[in-house]
Amino acid sequence: MAKSALLIGEKSDIGATIKTYLKKESYVVTGTTSSTLDLSSKESVDNFLLKNNKKFNSIIFVAATNTPKKFLNLKDKDFDYSYDVNFKSFVFILKNLISKMPTNSNSSIIIISSLFGSFGRDKRFLYSSSKHFLNGAMKNLAIELGTYRIRVNSIAPGFIDTKMTRNNNSNNSLSKIIKKIPAGRLGKSKDIAEAVMFLLSSKSSYITGQELVIDGGLTAGGFWED
């Protein structure tokens, strides 16, 4: 029987690479983009669920918005939009689809989080706090869904060479960041996709409730000045 995966955010650099890897492993992929699923719109989410009322072996959440802005300059609409896209709508979708996931197979939910799910940074209040929410959700879901043999994990990418990373960091900032990464480079989307495939596989059947950090060693402590 073919394995099926729901990939929320297939058009991002990381999402597109994950989709390629899923296809190589013969997954039937239902992917979403901002045009097919507007996570900021309850109507769009409701319509998506009506059209996709089916079983998925795996659900992978990649979609996110990250527009740097000082906390004191944030508007109410900024909070609503960021939290809807980065957290609330995904949790609502899960609540509706989890009961349909197969419980006699290697079912898995994977959340693409961020280092900002553990750390803060100037102008990243909404992005960081929403990623903290996701990590808390991951741990609680792992506890509650273990009974149904559904594993839940998150991946925290470090600085990955994507359009979002380059849009939100100057070349000068990226040069400074790379100097603090023991691996000596920005990560690649395939570094994240390969980790996703491991967490989907039976090789990780005893791993749940965990955050896998993929940052080239940045948070090992190399950012401290000697």
Exposure string for 136-156, b = 16+ CB within 10 A, e = fewer: ebbeebbeebeeebbbbbbbb
In the set 21, 81, 83, 127, the catalytic residue is 127
Annotation marks residue 127 as catalytic: yes
Phi, then psi, of 94 in degrees rounded to 5: -55, -45
* Strand 58-61, strand 3-8: pairing: parallel
Catalytic site residues? 127
